[in-house]
Structure 1
Amino acid sequence: MIEIHEVTKKFQDKKAHVTALKHVSFKVKQGEVLGLLGENGAGKTTLLRAVATLLTPTDGTVTVAGHDTVKNPNAVKKKIGVLFGGETGLYDRLTAKENLEYFAMLYGMSKHETKVRIDELAKMFGMRDYLDRKVGGFSKGMRQKVAISRTILHNPDIILFDEPTTGLDITSSNVFRELIHQLKHMEKTIIFSSHIMEEVTLLCDSVAMMHKGELVHHGSLEDLYEEEGSRDLNYIFMSKLVRGNIHHAS
């Protein structure tokens, strides 16, 4: 479903080239939930942006549902839903409902389909009380709920979440986790980055660990636990960074 092959991304800084990704390769199967782990600056968001067609790799290729992200970006965009960290992509002067209706129109959804879907999401995330309020006055958590709703509004096959539970309270975080389980049951393919190891442990089938732009490890969680002799993902992650086990990435 997603194939990342020898992807390198370099940016021109004021003084020199900065290499954000270094020959990263791995695959994500249909219906798989993959957790993308790494400290700040590891290259997680850069990689997700490349998958989402928002960045062009300097070298290498990314293929999503059989479409090259550079050669056929429009076909990829129709297949994916994307949420990047604090970038909710919402319009402050519009209400939550108007924001969702606007994006539904961009996705080519009918008015009936849009109404039904917004009602479903409002109930799921407890947004009914503020659907008709302008987003500009929302708390961070309220904005995040609307942003997550925007991401899955058109029922995409592939979903990319970058730190999706940032700003959410415990109840809303649990709703999000239940959503992931539902999406997985629907055979959706999901990549999400997170600093919350418990979240990754509960939700993911596999992990891709990154450090300074390189892939440190890729594989199933169960294989990783067996290989390391531990089920403490935080310990395993820190241990791999210290050891620099880049050769274990597959």
Structure 2
Amino acid sequence: MADRVAIVTGAARGIGAAVAQRLAADGLAVALLDLDEQGVLDGADKIVAGGGRAIGLKVDVSDEEQVDAAVAKVTEKLGPPTVLINNAGVLRDNLLFKMTTEDWDTVMNVHLRGAFLMSKAVQAHQTKEGFGRIVNLSSTSALGNRGQANYSAAKAGLQGFTKTLAIELGKFGVTVNAIAPGFIATEMTKATAERMKISFEDLINGAAQTIPVARVGQPEDIAHTASFLVSEGAGFVSGQVIYVAGGPKD
């Protein structure tokens, strides 16, 4: 994988940052994309300081012009990207009767439109190279979760998107899979605790009691799974949704 170039969206913090660091450790050159420019620049600097190759770019993944420009920049600076981690995401939680159209559209645009635009731009390089790995970040919320009609629908949509791309791109040497994390301790779940008006520690402890392995997940748990799915050895794994949640999910 030393000659491969990966793009990780939503890479400024949390799961995206952990995945970017892990792929760099695996020997890939990594482009970190996020609206948080300083976050991805710091992440890229960390990779470079460790002897890797990386760049950080400020990108709105729901904007087609920005996506196309970013992929062109990655190609120019690092080489043709053949590995894509669609991780960018936002929360706009609310019960249906309180949810605004803007809240719905924002979540759909980042998760679904963003994954579509990024995958469309990157697949041109993957099919040309005859190799590709796309990993979409879904969620256990795809199975339904109170107060997340927009997020659940988007994450379920990503699973259908994953399976369809696996069918379309397989003959070009491209695999497409999804990771569906359960409770992962990140800034996003910390914000959930704040909205619920409870401490993050209480939220973590409560969640851990419902998880068979008796702990919540860490960003590195997702990074390990992504590392396998983008590897040469995962070439016969495609169209799958892997629940990384500390136990079985229906």
Same fold per TM (> 0.5)?
no
- Structure number having the greater strand percentage: 1
Normalising by the smaller structure, the TM-score range is: 0.3 to 0.5
With normalisation by structure 1, the TM-score equals: 0.35
TM-score normalised by the chain length of structure 2:
0.35
* Higher relative contact order (CA closer than 8 Å, sequence separation 6+): 1
Structure whose CA Rg is larger: 1
Q: Structure 1 or 2: larger helix share? A: 2
